[in-house]
């Protein structure tokens, strides 16, 4: 297979059609790619199949629902993975045989939030078969996936990143090549460690503000034109916590997983990580106390029971 740039018209296999993956795959089809979508989860696969059957993908491409990984690999120039973690990525590629089914020249784009060391190991196994692996995790949530405004952090060889750039541009509003393979996953984990720590301290500060008798939206408005502002004050608190919906679409346990990856990077590098370790410990305690499917914004209601969703 030629190592040309993978432009609209090419076939792309897409594995992982959850809340993030489905709109991302739909955008690729809408941009002119032939997308072979697969998910091991019955409900996710059914939702994709219904989306395709209902004409939910508009554009010049084609969206197809396939029933197995062998079909995902059939004629695909690229395989996009949007899976929960490195263990699932390894299982799909190695144990379930997707890598073995790919011809030389194919490129795998792992957009999952994976562990960088595992990514580098998989890239080595892929290279031995003539297959390239690029890591391209994202930030921006479900809304960003739907709008194509995701930030994409890309790790990989320059030539392979250029090959998949057209695909990434369809899904992302800002695509940044951050280094060699594994670098994207490292930056994503570090970003989420920072984001989670911002959210935790913001939630502590807002609890103190409320106890002092202050109006939270007014406090947030003041902070958002001041030096304390962050994604937590500008987006998460006003959009998901103040209205008590807690529905950002990103699970608390996935955030914790990314935080632990970042902490492992810091500890392996023997760089200071006392605040990081404390934040991970607090998020781990929250994960034990909250429901298994808790949204990550529910860290606020773990800190302050007054923020629990109101009863109907």
Active site residues: 188
DSSP readout, 185-214? HHHHHHHHHHHHHHHHHHHHHHHHHHHTT-
Contact 190, 262 (CB under 8 A): yes
153 forms beta bridges with 176
Strand 138-139 vs strand 132-135: parallel, antiparallel, or unpaired?
A: unpaired
Strand 172-179 vs strand 150-155: parallel, antiparallel, or unpaired?
A: parallel
Distances in Å between the alpha carbon of 231 and those of 150, 178, 266, 286? Answer: 14, 21, 23, 20
Contact 136, 154 (CB under 8 A): yes
For residues 254 and 256, give the distance between their C-alpha atoms in angstroms, rounded to a whole number: 5
For residues 21 and 40, give the distance between their C-alpha atoms in angstroms, rounded to a whole number: 13
Contact 56, 23 (CB under 8 A): no
For residues 294 and 287, give the distance between their C-alpha atoms in angstroms, rounded to a whole number: 8
Distances in Å between the alpha carbon of 140 and those of 23, 144, 169, 171, 250? Answer: 13, 5, 14, 11, 10
- 3-class state of residue 157 by DSSP: coil
Distances in Å between the alpha carbon of 109 and those of 41, 82, 182, 217? Answer: 20, 9, 12, 40
Strand 150-155 vs strand 138-139: parallel, antiparallel, or unpaired?
A: antiparallel
Q: Which helix (H) or strand (E) holds 260?
A: helix 252-269
């Amino acid at each position: 297979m030629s190592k040309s740039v993978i432009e609209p018209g090419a076939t792309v296999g897409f594995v992982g059609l959850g809340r993030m993956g489905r709109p991302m795959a739909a955008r690729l089809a809408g941009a002119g790619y032939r997308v072979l979508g697969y998910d091991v989860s019955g409900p996710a696969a059914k939702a994709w199949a219904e989306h395709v059957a209902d004409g939910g993908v508009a554009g010049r491409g084609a969206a197809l629902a396939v029933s197995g990984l062998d079909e995902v690999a059939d004629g695909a120039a690229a395989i996009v993975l949007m899976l929960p973690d490195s263990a699932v990525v390894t299982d799909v590629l190695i144990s379930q045989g997707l890598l073995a089914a790919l011809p030389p020249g194919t490129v795998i784009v792992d957009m999952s939030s994976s562990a960088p060391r595992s990514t580098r190991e998989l890239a080595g196994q892929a290279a031995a078969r003539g297959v390239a692996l690029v890591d391209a995790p994202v930030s921006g949530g479900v809304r960003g996936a739907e709008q194509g405004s995701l930030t994409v952090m890309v790790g990989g060889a320059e030539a392979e990143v250029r090959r998949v750039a057209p695909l990434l541009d369809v899904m992302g509003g800002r695509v940044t090549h951050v280094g060699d393979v594994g670098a994207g996953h490292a930056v994503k984990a570090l970003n989420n460690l920072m984001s989670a720590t911002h959210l935790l301290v913001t939630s502590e500060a807002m609890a103190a503000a409320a106890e002092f008798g202050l109006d939270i939206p007014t406090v947030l408005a003041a902070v958002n034109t001041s030096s304390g502002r962050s994604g937590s004050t500008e987006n998460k608190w006003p959009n998901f916590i103040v209205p008590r919906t807690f529905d950002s679409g990103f699970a608390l346990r996935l955030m914790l997983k990314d935080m632990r990856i970042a902490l492992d990077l810091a500890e392996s590098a023997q760089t200071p990580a006392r605040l990081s370790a404390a934040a991970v410990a607090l998020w781990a305690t929250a994960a034990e106390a909250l429901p298994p499917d808790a949204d990550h914004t529910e860290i606020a209601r773990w800190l302050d029971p007054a923020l629990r969703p109101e009863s109907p």
